Amino acid sequence: MNKTVMVVDDSASVRQVVSITLKSAGYDVVEACDGKDALGKLNGQKLNLIICDVNMPNLDGISFVKELKKTTQHRFTPVIMLTTESEEAKKKEGQAAGARAWIVKPFQPAQMLNAVAKLCLP
Amino acid sequence: MSSNPALNEARDTFFAESREMLQVIEDTLLALESNAADDETINALFRAAHTIKGSAGLFDFERIVRFTHVVESVLQRVRDGAIRLLPPLVSLLLVCGDQIAALLAEAEADTLAKSPAPHPNTDAHGAELVAQLNDYLAPAAAGGALLRTADPIAEPVPAAHGGVASEHWHISVRFGPDVLRNGMDPLSFVRYLGSLGRLISVSTVFDGMPDAATMDPETCYLGFEIALMTDADRQTIADAFEFVRDDCALRILPPHSKLAEYVQLIAAMPEDDIRLGELLVRSGSLTEAELAAGLSAQGQRRVPGEAPPQLGEILLGQQSVEAPVLNAALDKQLRVRERVAQESRFVRVRADKLDQLINLVGELVVASAGVNLRALALKDAALQEATASLTHLVEQIRDDALQLRMVQLAETFNRFNRIVRDTARELGKEIELQIEGGDTELDKTMVEKLADPLMHLVRNAIDHGIEAPEVRAAAGKPRCGTLTLAACHDSGSIVITVRDDGAGLSRERLLKKGIERGLVAPGDQLSDSEVFNLIFAPGFSTAQTVTELSGRGVGMDVVKRNIQALRGVVSLGSEPGRGTTVTMRLPLTLAIIDGFLVGVAGAMFVVPQELVIECIEAPALDLQQDYLNLRGEVLPFLRLDQMLGSVGEPVATRNTRRSSVVVVRTGSGKAGLLVDSLHGEFHTVIKPLGKLFQNIRGVSDATILGNGEVALVLDVSALVGSAATRLQGGTVPAHGSRALAQAV
Amino acid sequence: MIQISSEAGRSVARLEGEFTIYQAAESKPPLMAAIADSEELEINLAGVTEIDSAGLQLLLLAKREALRTGKSVRLVAHSEATLAVIDLLGLAGYFGDPLVLRA
């Protein structure tokens, strides 16, 4: 059974690239365009990993992680946060919320794949 | 990446999406000009920049990433409340939005092209914007954004000899209690290590797990001793644990590590030494003999009553630190020091402090001249020698001080990138700006005063010089016109040219207009240069009909005045169908003058050296005559004594002397200055005239001569100009008056 | 999911589906109770589709508890997922159970 990764990002092009990269490496991918959308898609969805942008409209990444940690079904699902170097403060906030894995944007698709592999090989 | 059609599609999404984001940025910024910024607005701004940067990175658009990163950092500070979004910043950000748009367009073009083209103009403009943006970044933040801190795990790899027998890496890791709750599964890291090479052996350590009653099933108690055969480096191995770096104890030993390092590892891990030693032997990282040797080395050092030796001591005592390791460390230190040196190579100084210094140096030069004069009067050889060396030093200081104020023209030139682009776009033209000699240096005060005339010239060239793409194509020229800003040094002056490859000026039209305006007599034979330079005549372009000429004429007389105020001359050349070139020749600085000293009516005057072409002996002249024959050329000349008034001896005595003519360069031609005596070249600091004298026409500044006398610096352009006006308005229909008018 | 059955002093714990951190908290009490209640416990792993570090820790705890109290805990009918983990972490020796290796 393939590992399933949820990609949460408000940028359609980022979602597209991440999704294509993951699929070509053998993962199944679920896409969501912001934190709110992602929460809506969690229910009943088997997920091995979530890749989530920090800065998003409606519900930002950190708030999403906080909500995620409240669910019974997904509270231990690993999350990779996409952040930028300029968001050190956000990183602290995210760490407090339980986010441990970070990829600094901009990143190469291969870099992202490598980070995903550390948490779940396909 | 381009081979993957799905990714190409994603890239198209990126371009579309980024343009949307830019629109959001622009709309938001424009709205901010009328409304105060609330948090949500600022968030939206930040997010837009953030998204562009983040996405651009995925597609390898380095230039977009680099530039947007800085914009984003500034917006970050706005969002953090560190800086406020005031109008200057809003304007700057608007310009930055345009820059991102330009980068996007270029990225898109590069994607379509087989090989990416360089974009020096956009890059230069970007660099300038980044410099401005950096003003809004705290020094620490700006530095932090650029410098990555060294990774603590990145240690030099020890030498491959003198260590234990095992050929694999040994990784020893103990996970923190919260790892599982944070969604991290230690198993996944082991699997990942397996993907880096071959797992020789893994030993699971769970000695820290408490008894069944207190064991918390969601707490992590695991650790591993791993033997890994891999070609990966230490950093790669360490990075496997990057997401749990703060939540684990990690030791990595490279192949053939020193026994002492294993001893250190054994001591550092929470388990009993013997138990851990067994694990190491089991994993194949240590042999039994090696373990025994290591543990006994540790034991032997324990002298009763003394604290056990630090493991670092064992390490250092047992094996010497290898030379390569030491060298690597020293290298690194050296590099750090070099960087610090680089940073401190520049000192920012306020411009007015520099001006103050240069003024003082000017005073020093004058004072030194005074001392020199006294010394000469006293006829004291020793004193004269001392003042001579003093004078020499003062001159050096003067030159060096002036050098401090020299700046490169590149910054001024680069500012035109946006103007050219914007104006060209407005007019539906395609124009590329080329910059040559941007590293040419010029006095800062000059550079500032050059901005306006350059702006006029560039605008004119875009408006009226370069044709619309269709017109160009029809004429067999490339659709994209080229506008060139160039600077170079030429015999002590700086020459700046603004050149376009447009349609050029029409000689016939100019001539017709010149005749209409009474600047040229019908039937006169004028050279091309004379015709083209009519354009600088005041009000030349105030024509009724909107023509190519009317536009180009806008401000040309202003340009000329500006350049003359800088003691420079401006001239224009044009070839029909090939383009127009405006050339400005300027002194390097206003603070110092390379002058030619002349005597007129017993007073001393300085003619700026860059304007002097030659000196000739005055022929016998008729009192009414205002031109002479210079090797077959008509040379209008000015009688300086008459123009400046008789300030010295009566005319009668002077007439007995032989006078000379100094031939000077004017805008488009030459003019002569009739003087009494020539005193040669002369290099000195200029003292501006007091306010009272500022309106004296014909004299621009003053300077002090070595003998303490004051010499006035002639404003040649103004002199020739006023002479021409006087003659034109007068009744003398002499040949020279017209020639003079043209020369202006 | 964990199901405990008991017959003639011998208990069988049947693990089904995921045996991960999501099930760890609820699985520990019945598993420990099963060890306390009988001399011999057989943990049947046939139905385990996924096991992570948390699940593994419980198996380690069960085995260690048995060793400490002189009882017997055996892992049987390893599923592919459990075999892979035990193999990866070099724990076959510790559990000491016969493993069916796949060709």
pLDDT score of B78: 85
Q: What is the mean pLDDT of residues B335-346?
A: 53
Q: B touches which chains (3+ CB pairs under 8 A)? A: A, C
| Residue C25 to residue B203, Cβ atoms within 8 A | no
What residues of chain A lie within 8 A of the CB of B47, using their CB? Answer: 10, 55-57
Among the partner-chain residues B46, B65, B183, the one whose CB lies closest to the CB of A78 is: B183
| Residue B183 to residue A12, Cβ atoms within 8 A | no
Identify the closest residue of chain B to C35 by CA–CA distance: B212
Among the partner-chain residues B179, B204, B221, the one whose CB lies closest to the CB of C89 is: B204
| Residue B183 to residue A85, Cβ atoms within 8 A | no
Query: What's the mean per-residue pLDDT of chain B?
Result: 76
Question: Quick check: pTM over 0.80?
Answer: no
pLDDT higher than threshold 60 for residue B317: no
Reported as a single tens digit per residue, the pLDDT across C37-75 is 888 888 999 999 999 999 999 999 998 888 888 888 888
| Residue C61 to residue B220, Cβ atoms within 8 A | no
For chains B and C, count residue pairs whose Cβ atoms are closer than 8 Å.
Answer: 66
CA distance B232 to chain C (A): 20
- Give the model's confidence band at B706: pLDDT under 50 very low, under 70 low, under 90 confident, else very high: low
Q: What is the mean pLDDT of residues B268-293?
A: 70
Among A16-30, B308-322, B529-543, B671-685, name the one with the lowest average pLDDT: B308-322
Q: What is the mean pLDDT of residues B339-356?
A: 66
| Residue C20 to residue A76, Cβ atoms within 8 A | yes
Q: Is the ipTM beyond the 0.90 threshold?
A: yes
Beta strands in B576-698 (DSSP E): 579-587, 592-600, 603-608, 612-617, 627-630, 633-639, 660-665, 670-675, 677-688
What residues of chain B lie within 8 A of the CB of A107, using their CB? Answer: 57-58
What residues of chain A lie within 8 A of the CB of B7, using their CB? Answer: 17, 20
Q: In the beta sheet, which residues pair with residue C75?
A: C43
Among the partner-chain residues A99, A105, A117, the one whose CB lies closest to the CB of B54 is: A105
C:27-56 residues touching chain A, CB 8 A cutoff:
49
CA distance B232 to chain A (A): 14
- Give the model's confidence band at A49: pLDDT under 50 very low, under 70 low, under 90 confident, else very high: very high
CA distance A28 to chain C (A): 17
| Residue B11 to residue A13, Cβ atoms within 8 A | yes
Identify the closest residue of chain B to A79 by CA–CA distance: B183
Residue to test with chain B: of C2, C53, C83, C85, most B Cβ within 10 A: C53
Residue B677 DSSP class: E
| Residue A73 to residue C22, Cβ atoms within 8 A | yes
| Residue B220 to residue C57, Cβ atoms within 8 A | yes
Contact B212, C32 (CB under 8 A): yes
- CATH code of the domain covering residue A52: 3.40.50.2300
- Give the model's confidence band at B582: pLDDT under 50 very low, under 70 low, under 90 confident, else very high: very high
Residue C22 touches chain A, beta carbons under 8 Å = yes
Identify the closest residue of chain C to A73 by CA–CA distance: C22
Q: C touches which chains (3+ CB pairs under 8 A)? A: A, B
Biggest distance spanned by C-alpha atoms of chain B: 127
Tokens 């109770």 identify what position?
A: C33
Reported as a single tens digit per residue, the pLDDT across B531-557 is 888 888 776 754 433 333 334 444 677
What residues of chain B lie within 8 A of the CB of C22, using their CB? Answer: none
- Give the model's confidence band at B630: pLDDT under 50 very low, under 70 low, under 90 confident, else very high: confident
Distance of alpha carbon B582 from alpha carbon B170, whole angstroms: 73
CA distance B202 to chain C (A): 5
Residue to test with chain A: of C19, C22, C52, C79, most A Cβ within 10 A: C22
Distance of alpha carbon B567 from alpha carbon C26, whole angstroms: 91
Number of domains making up chain A: 1
pLDDT score of B152: 36
- Give the model's confidence band at C99: pLDDT under 50 very low, under 70 low, under 90 confident, else very high: low
B37 contact partners, CB below 8 Å, separation of at least 6: B78, B85
Reported as a single tens digit per residue, the pLDDT across B172-194 is 889 989 889 888 899 999 999 99
Q: Residue B544: in which H helix or E strand, if any?
A: none
Contact C85, C56 (CB under 8 A): yes
A18, B46, B617 from A85: Cα distances, Å: 19, 14, 74
Distance of alpha carbon B182 from alpha carbon A101, whole angstroms: 9
CA distance B154 to chain A (A): 19
pLDDT score of B691: 60
CA distance B72 to chain C (A): 39
Distance of alpha carbon B453 from alpha carbon B461, whole angstroms: 12
What residues of chain C lie within 8 A of the CB of B174, using their CB? Answer: none
Identify the closest residue of chain A to B65 by CA–CA distance: A106
Domains of chain C, first to last = 2-95 (3.30.750.24)
Domain that holds residue A92: 4-119
Please give the torsion angle defined by the CA atoms of residues B62, B66, B72 and B74, in that order, rounded to the nearest 10 degrees.
Answer: -170
pLDDT higher than threshold 90 for residue A50: yes
CA distance B249 to chain C (A): 17
pLDDT score of B147: 32
A:48-107 residues touching chain C, CB 8 A cutoff:
72-73, 76
Percent above pLDDT 90 for chain B = 6
What residues of chain B lie within 8 A of the CB of A76, using their CB? Answer: 180-181, 183
Percent above pLDDT 70 for chain A = 98
B:635-694 residues touching chain A, CB 8 A cutoff:
none
Amino acid letter, residue B345: R
Residue C10 touches chain B, beta carbons under 8 Å = no
A31 contact partners, CB below 8 Å, separation of at least 6: A6, A7, A8, A15, A19
Contact B597, B488 (CB under 8 A): no
